[in-house]
Structure 1
């Protein structure tokens, strides 16, 4: 079975790459994508661990971008590491600046925290801030921390530094990756059917149809959009670790045929958006 959306301790997951690989193998996963936020840091450890279990690692990333003023995430599969890592440094440092800004906001609100010591290659995110709030005794759970301070528009929320979805898609294409829109129905800046033509025109190659938050009706809607725009269909649990009431590995029971289509898209990746992308988007 297939998992194309998972996180490790190199971003906001709670399992180290080796632990994630072991858990995935135990759950029956045969191909696992490492898609940490804005970092490739977990790849090497995951690949080394996967050799012991006969498990295939799909190298990936989840870029944090903004579109229509709201957060939009773009998955990128099979990027050329040497091309992607240099521009990622700016995104990585932006995440560190954002974490400090949220900590400053919390202090002004009367809820000081100690930012966790985050190692090299690890991209800080709101879950790290939430854990710090729990450790400081300001919240009982990470969920409470999000609900009170860190959710979009919350009193301590800080948006990502300006990096548009179009820029993210073009960066991934320039680095040989297959860009895929992650969990479209979590996007709060418009309906997928309205947003998709703009992203396809920029070079989007796929759409994450299968996600724990998507309903069967939404699956069907996204599948139709994928057919309309000739996009690769992907899916994954968006697993962040063993969290109460959270998604579990392999819960979607996705077939390996989805990986075959993704690999084919990789082989036919044409770099920056071409005229055929614009034709498919209806924006030519």
Structure 2
């Protein structure tokens, strides 16, 4: 099989995905991808597990991570690629993960204060392979018939600004770019907001941003064309990925959105060569 193109936005059970690192590599190989980037939220722990399977199947495993960041007062996500495991970058990611664990427990406590019954042991039993987050709390309340739907739990309790939601820690976007570049990597803006301003993109590009996601489930075609034009204007690499989390999400299977080989090559060339 001649392999081509890449999916540069894939999650596993090491953050909020439903499939193991090896399972997503197998999925990438089965659809003929040349490369796949595992971009778990604020962790790189899946990479070492996935690499032997990627080598066995002849798929390039792009080192990746999706970083929870703040820029101009709002949460954004930045995708780091081709970085080395630099101590400063790993420490910053570790702080975000520590906050996530405390945030999960705090949200469970707030739900109980609001009259819900949340058995954390039972929650973990329901999702044995997952890194737990607020969606798992919503799923648990739905499964235990304390809510009519997962959406109801978010709308009433867990969505941003609702009574059981706890704000998450965020890494300053400029710091995230600097740390990733210091680690030899490159950075692309994941699912940018539809109302992104060119000036905002330019400011991050001047600080070292390498790319912008122009195709994916969170990017409408019309908006993606605008982002592609801006990428050309600012000499950014257009990237694309499925934002895969689980096989049962329509339109978000591994390989549903592809980064062409030429753009993957450009991204790789802009990373620092191994020391």
In the other structure, the counterpart of 2:105 is 100
In the other structure, the counterpart of 2:160 is 152
Which deviations, in whole Å up to 9, do the C-alpha atoms of 1:101-132 show, x marking residues without a partner?
Answer: 2112211221232334499x975433333333
Which deviations, in whole Å up to 9, do the C-alpha atoms of 1:234-255 show, x marking residues without a partner?
Answer: 1101000112435122122442
Instruction: Name stretches of at least 5 consecutive residues in structure 1 with no aligned partner.
Output: 270-284
Q: How many equivalent pairs are there? A: 265
Structure 2: distance between partners of 1:103 and 1:201: 41
In the other structure, the counterpart of 1:170 is 178
How far residue 56 of structure 1 moved from its aligned partner, in angstroms, is 1.1
Structure 2: distance between partners of 1:12 and 1:256: 27
In the other structure, the counterpart of 1:261 is 266
- The alignment status of 1:125 with 2:129, answered yes or no, reads no
Structure 2: distance between partners of 1:122 and 1:94: 17
Is the contact made by 1:10 and 1:123 (CA closer than 8 Å) also made in structure 2? yes
- Pick the structure with more strand per residue: 2
- The alignment status of 1:24 with 2:65, answered yes or no, reads no
Which deviations, in whole Å up to 9, do the C-alpha atoms of 1:203-228 show, x marking residues without a partner?
Answer: 21111111122222111100111112
Structure 1: distance between partners of 2:149 and 2:253: 20
How far residue 265 of structure 1 moved from its aligned partner, in angstroms, is 1.2
Moved more, 240-249 or 96-105: 240-249
How far residue 32 of structure 1 moved from its aligned partner, in angstroms, is 0.5
- The CA RMSD measured in Å over matched residues stands at 2.5
Is the contact made by 2:47 and 2:63 (CA closer than 8 Å) also made in structure 1? yes
In the other structure, the counterpart of 1:239 is 244
Distance 1:138 1:236, change over 3 A: same
Distance 1:183 1:258, change over 3 A: same
Specify which of 198, 214, 222 is matched with residue 209 of structure 1.
214
How far residue 98 of structure 1 moved from its aligned partner, in angstroms, is 1.4
Is the contact made by 2:217 and 2:252 (CA closer than 8 Å) also made in structure 1? yes
Moved more, 149-158 or 58-67: 149-158
Normalised TM-score (structure 1): 0.84
Distance 1:30 1:143, change over 3 A: farther
Moved more, 151-160 or 212-221: 151-160
Structure 1: distance between partners of 2:198 and 2:131: 31
Structure 1: distance between partners of 2:185 and 2:272: 10
Moved more, 4-13 or 68-77: 68-77
Instruction: Name stretches of at least 5 consecutive residues in structure 2 with no aligned partner.
Output: none
Structure 1: distance between partners of 2:20 and 2:31: 16
Is the contact made by 1:232 and 1:262 (CA closer than 8 Å) also made in structure 2? yes
How far residue 149 of structure 1 moved from its aligned partner, in angstroms, is 2.7
Is the contact made by 1:133 and 1:145 (CA closer than 8 Å) also made in structure 2? yes
